[in-house]
Chain A
């Protein structure tokens, strides 16, 4: 019996070895100037959401540097230490000297590798985390509260029921910052606006996101927005002949959304990637904690569609200018939370650090229908 298995394995080995003789291409034959950059994605590169947005940045980066840079990537990587470190190791093994982890949960495993001493010559960039070291690990993110606020302004002006539906993934800091900014934006132009939040407890759940949006529409919401990765909520809004505001990437061309889609707060990852790769190439890169703004072009509001009223268009255009030149801040006191407690004191304005300290509270005017923990 042992023999049989052994023979089977030997047969495997033989066939593999034979096929290996077939071609002699070495793995690391191109040792010239090409900088190899490895991207680790949590989802699929054509998910019409989060990962596709990340990958659009990668593609733009590749086009910008053409043959000076080679981008490799791995999709559908789980947020577990084994999966992430395996993936990073494969990328490094394939010649990558820059590793970009594009999901929060990739941070700790990558940070561990960066600090292990085995990968001192590899540069690690992490999207959405806060880890940083002195030599080879930096992070990047964006002030999404800016375009979120503007999308809230549009929603506040377009609603007739004064009920805005928000399909959110988790009750966590990043998501709640978005909800709060959206609510502040809506209520800055329409004090009667109420934002109703439903958490799906998943970043990617096409049917769950759609049905959450349907429930919000049934409660009378006439503008639906989202912090979740699929176009489900937008399609639900379109089916109900209401308005939709997307997220991550511009879905204006998506079939079925013609009369529903307003805009979306979107990322332009290439804006960061191109500049950071420039510094890595010329050797001037230092670990930083990048926080891209609308002024930087790292984030924006997608072009407003025909469904946005002229009034809202004009208002958003004016506010966008103020955000870009720094005269309009998003979290300016006094702000109360939805329990009536003071969240931001009168006369106080939250900066980046302050924004990222508020946890677990929604502003006045926003209520959650379920627990997102």
Chain B
């Protein structure tokens, strides 16, 4: 007689499962760093998570290129924090910064674009390393004191990087600004990596750093021209600048240009506060202009010759300030200062009315575009809003992790009790399968954390816990089918292959729906939702692996063992009695015994 149809060799399936597990854990232990720990999210290990959302004023979709560039720039800033394990990940229009550990709050300011301001150049720029020009602050009356801290929120638009390389002024009237000849050629691409620290967050700053900033301010932002001159002499452009992004807009500033080749002495942006009234119309020193006053900037063909120019357009108020400032400072240089660093210092050729300005210089297209973008967006090619900023203390993270594990444990225990009660022996198989499923999931988690940087957060743990139900469901579909078959009068043994063929279809289609749900969620959703969807989808797939390679073979094995297949152990007693009644009825006997 042929073997019952659908008969399988359980050992073969189980062996292939074992093979998978062994291979998985071989990968876990012998590749990468060999640590068998999944990557935990910030909410489980403590740290800071900041979600920045790109905002375009016209609501348009930011370009891929701009988003990727912003990601790279912010990554450089994050690395500047000196915290290990920090990451910047792009998620649609969002950049997600994660910095693990307790001292991670510095990450909150990283998304702010650097501050752009216009400052009048006092005297001549001095080559770095050379002696300062003694005739320096001749034209400037340094303002009296006026300490005000920089604004809490820096301008959302600010900018400036590539200084135009430029030939001599071309003598034509058209260019309103001519980039200073001494400026270094623009570096295309990368913005200053050190624009990381953003305006004041004094309470977040390391006291040592705070002290350095104070000292630098006292010297290089002094209101005393003598001190400034001294500062210009002492300033070393090769050293990192503690004032980067921390400079006070209401005070003069001695600083370097982007390349560190020239030192500039610059006038304050705004007149001192207590003097506002008397200096209301004094634009001879104060531009009063920051990146917020810029409406737009674009690179265009030079209408008067070869090469490209940058057209700068101010907002209406900015335009009138600009007009007053330029008319008071014709033939003077104005510095475009980004986070305290001179990006470009063109000379004002004529008074500029109406806010439309042309910066000329022998720009290549790329250089012009870079300068325009920097003026428009600040150091980052996009403006970002902080959508979500959270700092989780390591203790809270640990508690959450524990709570998640306890929740999973309780869930498993409840399922276990229910299965034991309802399915007896097969309940044990269910638990065994769930445990093996957990073994696989853990291994895959560790690997995914290593390979694609998948992090397990609290929502992800919840996804797994919910998936316990779905995994167990597959077994139930199979077992209930088995019952049906036994009820129809088959023996446990002959029922297994038939039940399997039928339930397999149901399990596949039900899992497919579940997987579609998870996949759609994963592709479209943002934030925590992604983690949840990922774990849910992953456990759905692994559920199939376990049902096919473990549960079914085990049940098939149990069905062949006389002891294990006894009705009292398999929980099929009721169904078997029903089956007996069914047989009795179909074979025409009158002794219909109803089972309960």
Interaction A to B: no
